[in-house]
Structures are given as C-alpha cells and as structure tokens.
Amino acid sequence: MSETTPPVAAEQEAKPKIKTRKPRQRACDEKPKGKLCNGHLKRWYDYPKEIEALIGPKAEIYRCEFCKTLYKPDLSEMPHSYTLRY
C-alpha cells in the first residue's frame, strides 16, 4: 500500500500577490509561467474575509481573471467608486 500525503495547508493559506495598477492599466502584466498573462482586470466586489483583512473593508480592488493576482488602484487617479453618475 502506498500512502498519499494530503495537500499542505500552508499552500492553501498562501497570501495572494497584491500589486498597484499602473495609470490606465486594463490587463494583467504578471508572468506566472514565463509568458505574459494579459488577463482582464475586473473589479472585485465580493471578496472573502481573508482578503478584507489584508486590504481593508470596502476597498476598491481589481483581480486578474486568469492568474487571480490582486491590484490596488493607482493613487494618482480618481477612484472609480461613485464617479459615474447619471
């Protein structure tokens, strides 16, 4: 009989990579496997409590659709929350 080891809990609890968006950046610039990811950065509204503890409550955060890298907004630009009013 061969014993199989369960996945290490530390891998599941690894902190996500958090980067700052460049001005007008819309695509991910991460290179997870040597190639550019180029995933679309989407606004992430309903993030889990673990992420909220890292970035703060009700923060404007974006996440890559492929590699799941988190991006904080660029401080030189106006926040996108409540700026679009009709």
Tens of pLDDT, residue by residue over 24-73, are 899 999 998 899 999 999 999 999 999 999 988 888 899 999 999 999 98
The dihedrals phi and psi of 52, each to the nearest 5 degrees, come to -60, -35
pLDDT of residue 77: 79
Q: Report the candidate in 40, 50, 31, 44 with the shortest Cα–Cα distance to residue 72.
A: 44
Give the pLDDT band of residue 75 (cuts 50, 70, 90): confident
Give the pLDDT band of residue 74 (cuts 50, 70, 90): confident
**The two structure tokens encoding residue 13:** 């609890």
Q: Any residues with CB less than 8 A from the CB of 85 and at least 6 apart, and which?
A: none
> CA 23 to CA 59: how far, in whole Å?
18
Full-prediction pTM beyond 0.75?
no
Largest CA distance in the chain: 67
